[in-house]
Amino acid sequence: MRIVDVVTTVVGAPWRELTFVELVAAVRDAVGPDVEIMIEMHGRFSAAAAAEIAAELEPFAPAWLEEPVPLDSPTGLARVRSATRRPIATGERLHLLSDFRAIIGEGVVDIVQADLTHFGGFTGLRRLAGWAEAYELPLAPHNVCGPVGTAANIHFAVATPNHLILEHFNDFADNWVSELVDAAPAIDPLDGCFPAPTEPGLGLRLDHDACAEHPRTHAGIFLFDDGWERRGEPSTAPAPAELDETPSPLPP
């Protein structure tokens, strides 16, 4: 569950001063050769553009290129795969085992990024991990959950031989998020790893009163809106429509 010495850089954000190559070059220059840089591309590029970007970023030795093309474009992914020697990571928006058939079978993915909470929980992700292991592919699960989802992912990592690294956003969440449970998972600052859990179950208990103080807001990240990358600022996207939960009348 190695988390230390990693920097994720977003390519495709509306930077005004730097091109994407200059941005990644500046990061590499700042952190040196021993820190891994992951390139997050959010599936925002055509195959031609992504292939060009992949080739231009290769001198900076990124640890992976994440979602270089839209999730429904395995042929585009193949074009990017052929354009670079760097690993291709994808899968966070795939929800079924069959969704991975084309990209694993065709050899166009190097790191599998399915999300435990979107992929059938432990059972679904264990099935995918076994399939990936047969192809010598590691898992780096997508994880933007709160403490409960992160705790589940830690258990999964301990039990999965081909687990590579776990995405982790809890340190960037609002302070109250860690207060939703009695013992939120925390990274050891000395080695950048989560300790292996020792308590029964997931190793934590929900504080239902704390949860009630923070009801669901339907907030989201809208990647094609200006300013989406500025955390904490209101989105310019329209608010989602209210869900009508009035039960339908019974037939006579």
Positions marked catalytic:
42, 142
User: How far is residue 214 from each of residues 79, 173, 174, 221, 230, measured CA to CA in Å?
Assistant: 44, 13, 11, 18, 22
Using H for helix, E for strand and C for coil, what is the string for 182-229?
CCCCCCECCCCECCCCCCCCCCCCECHHHHHCCCCCCCCCCCCCCCCC
